[in-house]
Amino acid sequence: MTCRFLDMNEHSSRSHSIFLINIKQENVETEKKLSGKLYLVDLAGSEKVSKTGAEGAVLHEAKNINKSLSALGNVISALAEGTKTHVPYRDSKMTRILQDSLGGNCRTTIIICCSPSVYNEAETKSTLMFGQRAKTIKNTVSVNLELTAEEWKKKYEKQKEKNKNLKFIIQKLEAELNRWRNGESVPREEQLSSKGQNSIEQNDNTPIIDNLLPAGGGVPVMNEERSKYEEDVSNLYRQLDDKDDEINQQSQLAEKLKEQMMDQEELLASTRRDFEKIQEELCRLQMENDLAKEEVKEVLQALEELAVNYDQKSQEVEVREQTNQQLGEELQQKTVLLLMVQRELSQLQELNSLQRKRAAEVLNLLLRDLNDIGAIIGAGDIKTGSTSETKGNGSAVEEEFTVARLYISKMKSEVKSLVNRSKQLESTQADAHRKIQANERELASCQLLVSQHQAKIKSLTDYMQNMEQKKRQLEESQDALSEELTRLQAQEKRHEVSEEEDTNRLDRDEKLQKTLEEQLESHREAHQKQLGRLRDDIEDKQRMLDELTDLNQGLLLEQERLVSDYEKLKSEEREKDAKLQNLILLNEHRDQAREDLKGLEETVAKELQTLHNLRRLFVQDLTARVKKSAELDCEEGLGNAAQKQKISFLENNLEQLTKVHKQLVRDNADLRCELPKLEKRLRATAERVKALENALKEAKENAMRDRKRYQQEVDRIKEAVRAKNMARRGFSAQIAKPIRPGHHPLSSPILSSVRPAGIYAHNN
């Protein structure tokens, strides 16, 4: 089954539909059963490819439809001729299914739907010829009765008795035939076929005179009595002749009266048929009139819906303009915030560069001091001495090393916190990217909705054009129907007058015909004038409607462009919001980093001071040890144990300091690697912000120009609508429709459409 519209038919399913109903009836008392089938078939109309414009799969479907219809036509032709022994039921599935409904035990009713237009003349002729061929099929109909067992038994006994009688008759006839063949002459009394006739002839040929004779025939009758008797008999014969003549006259008169009665009955039947046809035609015209009224109401409702949709669209455009203004104001505020953030960002970059320089210098000094400390400790391993002063200095050095370890652990924790914050920033960036993707998907769905609305608007414009064409057709059909209606009303009045008055019928018919013709001419002239005015009004309204549709299309295109610009601005605004949030987060992180760097500077300064003090102490200690090395050679054996402990303690501290130094160097290298990436991102964001500012300025300028243009279009449309309303009021007051007595007011014309032919078959 296919449901596609074509150029010739917009609402047809283009398919054959077969609906089968099995009916069974059973009498409870007599147990008789009746069965039957009802086929309801809706045939698709034949399709001419040059008119339908079918292509591809639709063309293949049209071929199948025409093939099945041609197979049905061949079957009907074979059944109508009656001379062909073969009926091609198996050429198509449809003819195979409808085999019992076409040439079997059935009664078939065919309803043909055809078009009265000149454009479809060939299709109408072929459809009528198809119905004419189907009308010539003659089927013998019998009741499908299912007998009970007792009825079958009775029928069997009856046929058996009949068979016996026929056998007896055949035997007698054969015996009579054999006698005739043997040369015998069978007397007439013994002949089987003439016994009844002889008895009837004998009964008919008994003379009336014999019945009138007296009972005593052997008694001698006198001459006078005989003459008197003969006179009576002759009188009776004359009376019989007179009666026969009178009977003949009466029979001839009766036959003449019968012929007159038959003529009158035929005339009455013909008038009744004509009257029924006229009634059916009037009912059909009234139904078509009602359908045309409903069609016009639907067209008016569609126009009102279009007007309401236009008002809604204009309101939506105004709302969009207000939202665009609000967005422009918000965008200005955000550009101001963006400029402030850019200034703060430049200041933060300068502070960051200064802090990096200071941190690099401090780290270089720290590395230099650590190298000096390592060299001094290595020289002290070769020659050392233990005195009371060196013990005091060793304890001070241990305290300084513990303080340095604490500061280094604090620096490690701060570095770890910076790494965690950088990870959090990356996660927030990923979330922002996901949000942007979701917004892009939402934008795509909105664009899809906009395209759907555009397609709907195009379909509505096409529908309006089709309705205008149908309106023209309705006007033409209304003219034809009005003329036909007046003609039928005249015929109806003519038939009524002929039935009521048999005498002076010709004179009255002529007068009535003249009056009706005058009424028809006056009515036709008024109708033509009114139709001319209505057509002029319709043409003016059609021109206005075309102008409005053009304006509507222009506004729709403008609205689409504004919507696309609006969506672009919204996306750019979202991007700017995301970038502003990122910049705000970067600013906060830079503030935090600044505070951390301040704490780091303080710790580094303290560590440098402690290292400087350690260096000074080590230098003093070494100079004192060098001076007193000669004096303390003798006491070297005594202070070995304490010296070894100090040396081992210093070595451990030195190892820890080297580890901390390596960790600091690695962290510094990581920060130096991340620094160019952050600077690149910062430069990219600054360039993007500049580009967005330029795009925003261009969008504002375009929006202002579009707004001015749209305002001009709206003003022009309002003026056109106002003029249309004024014209509508002026036209509606000028139309006046005369209603004559005995005439029904004409309504809007009907829509003539071509429906596929249908077969309704009832199988007994």
Q: What is the pLDDT of residues 618-663, one digit of tens each?
A: 767 767 776 776 565 555 555 566 666 777 777 777 777 777 767 7
Interacting residues of 456 by C-beta distance below 8 A, sequence separation 6+: none
d(CA 232, CA 220): 19
Burial pattern 436-450, b for ≥16 Cβ within 10 A else e, equals eeebeeebeeeeeeb
**CA distance linking residue 64 with residue 327, whole number of Å:** 60
Of the pLDDT bands very low, low, confident and very high (cuts 50, 70, 90), residue 360 is confident
Q: What is the pLDDT of residue 507?
A: 66
d(CA 662, CA 402): 18
Query: pLDDT tens-digit profile of 580-633?
Result: 777 777 777 777 766 766 776 677 667 667 766 776 777 677 677 767 765 655
Q: Please give the span between the terminal C-alpha atoms of the chain, in angstroms, as a whole number.
A: 29
**Residue 601 and residue 594: Cα distance in Å, rounded?**
10
Distance (Å, rounded) from C-alpha 487 to C-alpha 743? 12
More confident residue, 583 or 414: 583
pLDDT at 745 over 50: no
Query: 408 vs 699, which has greater pLDDT?
Result: 699
Q: What was the pLDDT predicted at 325?
A: 79
CATH class name, domain 17-146: mainly alpha
With cut-offs at 50, 70 and 90, classify the pLDDT of residue 741: very low
In whole angstroms, how far apart are CA 754 and each of 55, 113, 674, 715?
21, 7, 80, 45
The residue length of the chain stands at 764
pLDDT at 402: 63
By percentage, how much of the chain surpasses pLDDT 90? 1
Measure Cα distances from 710 to 110, 314, 396, 702, 715 in Å: 61, 10, 86, 12, 9
Question: How confident is the prediction for the chain on average, in pLDDT?
Answer: 72
Cα 711–chain centre separation: 36
Whether 205 has a pLDDT exceeding 70, the answer reads no
User: What token pair was written down for 248?
Assistant: 């003949």
Taking the C-alpha atoms of residue 319 and residue 217, their distance in angstroms, rounded to an integer, is 135
Q: CA–CA distance from 604 to each of 360, 408, 663, 670, 673 (Å)?
A: 11, 9, 15, 19, 22
- Phi, psi of 749, rounded to the nearest 5 degrees: -70, 165
Q: Can you tell me the distance from the alpha carbon of 329 to that of 327, in angstroms, rounded to the nearest whole number?
A: 5
Per the DSSP assignment, residues forming a β-bridge with 42 are 17, 758
Please state which of the ranges 66-75, 97-106, 680-689, 739-748 shows the lowest mean pLDDT: 739-748
Percent of the chain scored above 70 by pLDDT? 70
Q: How confident is residue 374, by pLDDT bands cut at 50, 70 and 90?
A: low
Long-range contacts of 546-553 (CB under 8 A, 24+ apart): 547/720, 548/310, 548/717, 548/720, 548/721, 548/724, 549/461, 549/464, 551/713, 551/716, 551/717, 551/720, 552/310, 552/457, 553/457, 553/461
141, 148, 503, 570, 740 from 497: Cα distances, Å: 43, 58, 10, 83, 20
Residue 184 phi, psi (nearest 5)? -80, 150
pLDDT of 203 above 80: no
pLDDT tens-digit map of 221-246: 467 777 887 788 788 878 877 877 88
CB 609 within 8 A of CB 459: no
Residue with tokens 């060098």: 626
In contact, 44 and 14? CB cutoff 8 Å: yes
pLDDT confidence bin for 339, thresholds 50/70/90: confident
Select from 404, 427, 414, 352 the least CA-distant residue to 667. 414
CA 18 to CA 720: how far, in whole Å?
Answer: 54
- What is the spatial distance between Cα 260 and Cα 562, in angstroms, rounded to a whole number? 89
Which one, of 573, 685, 686, lies nearest residue 329 by Cα?
573
166 band by pLDDT with thresholds 50, 70 and 90: very high
Q: Tokens standing for 204?
A: 């008919």
How many Å apart are CA 557 and CA 454, to the nearest integer?
A: 9
Q: With H, G, I as helix, E, B as strand and everything else as coil, classify residue 327.
A: helix
Look at residue 732 and tell me whether its pLDDT is greater than 60: no
DSSP state of 21: E
Mean pLDDT of 134-153: 76
Q: Sorting pLDDT into bands at 50, 70 and 90, what band is 204? A: very low
451: which 2 tokens? 């395209």
Q: How confident is the model at residue 161 (pLDDT cuts 50, 70, 90)?
A: very high
Q: How far is CA 296 from the centre of its chain?
A: 24
Q: How far is residue 510 CA from its own chain's centroid?
A: 60
Q: pTM of the full predicted structure?
A: 0.26
Distance between alpha carbon 331 and the CA centroid of its chain, in Å? Answer: 42
Q: Compute the C-alpha angle 106/111/116, nearest 5°.
A: 160
**Residues 269 and 483: beta-carbon distance below 8 Å:** no
pLDDT in tens, 422-444: 677 677 767 766 777 776 677 66
Torsion over CA: 460, 466, 472, 477 (sign): negative
pLDDT at position 455, please?
A: 74
What token pair was written down for 121?
A: 């003349």
Residue 400, C-beta contacts closer than 8 angstroms, at least 6 positions apart: 610, 613, 614
| Distance of alpha carbon 508 from alpha carbon 286, whole angstroms | 29
Cβ distance 432 to 264 under 8 Å? no
Measured in whole angstroms, the distance separating CA 703 from the mean position of its chain's CA atoms is 37
